[in-house]
Amino acid sequence: MTGKILSAALVAAMLFAADSLSAQVTFSKIKSDRTSAAGIHTPYKVHELHDTPAPEGYTPFYISHVARHGSRYNTNERELKSLLTPLHKCDSMGILTDLGKDLLRRVELLYSESEGRFGALSARGAREHRGIADRMYRRYPQVFSDPDRRNVHAASSTSLRCVLSMSNFAVALVKDDTTLCVDFSSDDRTKAYLMKNTGIGDIEDARREITTPVRREMFDPGRFFDAVVTDRKALRSALRDRVQFCKNLYVAGGIVHCVDLEDKAELYGFFTDDELYTLALLDSYDFYGDHANSREFGKERVAMADELVEDIISKADMAVADGSHTAADIRFTHDWMMSPLLAMIGIEGMYKSHSLLNAGRYWMTSDYIPMAANFYMVFYRSEDSGEILVKLLHNENEVSLPGLKKGSGPYYRWSDLKPYLCERIAFFTE
C-alpha cells in the first residue's frame, strides 16, 4: 500500500512540475525558439490541435469568440526613433563597429517598412485571423451549416488594426459559405467593453516602481555595446539610457517577425541566449503586473474585464434561446483586454494569482497573449434533453477551469458555467 501511495504522489508531482515548466519562462525554451522571447510581440503560432469528442447526442450550434488583433507594426514612430537616433549619432562619430553598422542597417530597414504604417495590422496579422477562422469553420461545421442560424455578429474596438482583423476573420468564414450573414459594429458602444482601461496608467506606474530597479540589476548591457561600438565613453554623448535602448531593441526584434522581415532584418541575433532570456523574463514581470492576475494589482486590473464577460453571458443567453438565428458572436480587442478576460474567466494557468516578480515561474507572455491570441466557447445541445454543454478553447486549444470542478472532460454545463462566470465578475468587482 505504501509503495502505491508513494508512486501516485510521485506521478502527481511530476505532472505538476511538467505543467509548471510548460508555462514558465525557461532558458531552453528561448534557446530552441527565440521568437518565443518576444512576449506580446510574438506572432501567432499554430500547434497540433485536438478535439475531445463531445458526449453522444450533443451537437455544436453556437460559438462565442474574443480575439486580440493580429500581428502589427510598432505602435508608434517613437519606438524606432529611440533606436535610430543614437545609432545615427554613433555612426556620425565613427564609433560603430561593423556589427553596429549592420544593426543600424537592419533597424533602418524595419523603419522604412513601417513608415506610414505604425500601429497598423500587417499582412501576417491578416493571415493569422483568416487561418483561425478557417480552422474554426472546418472544426465545427455544424455551427455554420444550420439553415436556421445564418447570422454572425462581429464587434471590434475602434482601433483600425482590430477592425481589419475582424474583416479578415469574417472574409474567411464566408468564403466557403456565402449564405452566412455577417453584421459589423465598431463604435463607442463596442469600445466601452472591448477597450475598458480606467486606471491602467496608475497600475503601470506602480508596477514600474517595482520592476525598473530590478531590470537595471538583472540586465547588463555592457557586452552588447562592446560589440556594436568602439568607444564606451563617446557612447555616453549619444545615448543616455543603455538598458532602455536594449529593451526597445528587444521589442523591435519581435516586430520584425510580425511584419515578415525576419530574413532581412532579424534583430535577436544581436543578443546572446542569456541576454534574450533575461529580457523575456523581465518582460513577463512587466506584462503580468500590468495586465494579469498579479497579487499586487490583479484584483483591480482584472475587474476591467467585467463588461466583456457580461457581454459574453448575455449574448450566449440570446443565442441558446429558442428561435435564435445566431451562429456566432466574434469580437476583436487588444492584449490588455485579453489578459484580464482570461484571468476573470479563470482558465488553467491564469486562475491562480502570483507575485509579479515570481511570474516567470508560472507565466510566459507569448504562451498566453501572442498576436491574434483568442478565446472561444463552443456551445453544444443535447438532441434528447436539450441540455447545453460548453467547450472552452484558448488559442484554439481545449482548456479547463480549475475553479469549476463540474464537467465531463473539457465540457461544462451552461447551467454551471453561467453562475460561475457571474461569481467571478462579483469577486473581482466587489
- What pLDDT, on the 0 to 100 scale, is given for residue 51? 94
Name 51's Cβ contacts closer than 8 Å, sequence gap at least 6.
139, 398
Q: Residue for cell digits 515578415?
A: 260
Tens of pLDDT, residues 155-213: 999 999 999 999 999 999 999 788 999 999 999 999 999 999 888 999 999 999 999 99
Determine the Cα–Cα distance for residues 118 and 383; give it in Å rounded to an integer.
50
Q: Is the pLDDT of residue 6 over 50?
A: no
Residue limits of CATH 3.40.50.1240 in the chain: 2-71+122-197+293-429
At 9, is the pLDDT very low, low, confident or very high (cuts 50, 70, 90)? very low
- What pLDDT, on the 0 to 100 scale, is given for residue 405? 85
Determine the Cα–Cα distance for residues 44 and 113; give it in Å rounded to an integer.
20
- What pLDDT, on the 0 to 100 scale, is given for residue 23? 67
* Contact in structure between 329 and 65 (CB atoms under 8 Å): yes
- What pLDDT, on the 0 to 100 scale, is given for residue 176? 79
Determine the Cα–Cα distance for residues 222 and 211; give it in Å rounded to an integer.
20
Tens of pLDDT, residues 209-239: 999 999 999 999 999 999 999 999 999 999 9
Tens of pLDDT, residues 249-280: 999 999 999 999 999 999 999 999 999 999 99
Tens of pLDDT, residues 352-380: 999 999 999 999 999 999 999 999 999 99
Q: Is the pLDDT of residue 336 over 60?
A: yes
Q: Is the pLDDT of residue 424 over 90?
A: yes
At 408, is the pLDDT very low, low, confident or very high (cuts 50, 70, 90)? confident
Tens of pLDDT, residues 384-394: 999 999 999 99
Q: What is the DSSP letter of 52?
A: P
Q: Cβ of 322: how many Cβ atoms within 10 Å? A: 5
- What pLDDT, on the 0 to 100 scale, is given for residue 14? 31
Pairing relation of β-strands 181-185 and 151-156?
A: parallel
Determine the Cα–Cα distance for residues 288 and 293; give it in Å rounded to an integer.
7
Q: Is the pLDDT of residue 130 over 80?
A: yes
- What pLDDT, on the 0 to 100 scale, is given for residue 183? 98
Q: Residue for cell digits 469580437?
A: 331
Q: What does CATH list as the number for 2-71+122-197+293-429?
A: 3.40.50.1240
Tens of pLDDT, residues 20-67: 445 688 889 999 999 999 999 999 999 889 999 999 999 999 999 999
Backbone φ, ψ for residue 292 (5° rounding): -120, -165
- What pLDDT, on the 0 to 100 scale, is given for residue 90? 98
What angle do the packed helices 77-92 and 98-114 form, to 10 degrees? 150
- What pLDDT, on the 0 to 100 scale, is given for residue 7? 34
Closest CA to 308 of 68, 72, 128: 68
12-21, 53-62, 109-118, range with the lowest pLDDT: 12-21
Tens of pLDDT, residues 279-318: 999 999 999 999 999 999 999 999 999 999 999 999 999 9
What mean pLDDT, rounded, does the chain reach?
Answer: 93
Average pLDDT over residues 325-331: 98
CA distances from 278 to 120, 216, 219, 227, 364 (A): 29, 11, 7, 18, 12
Assigned C-alpha cell, 275: 541576454
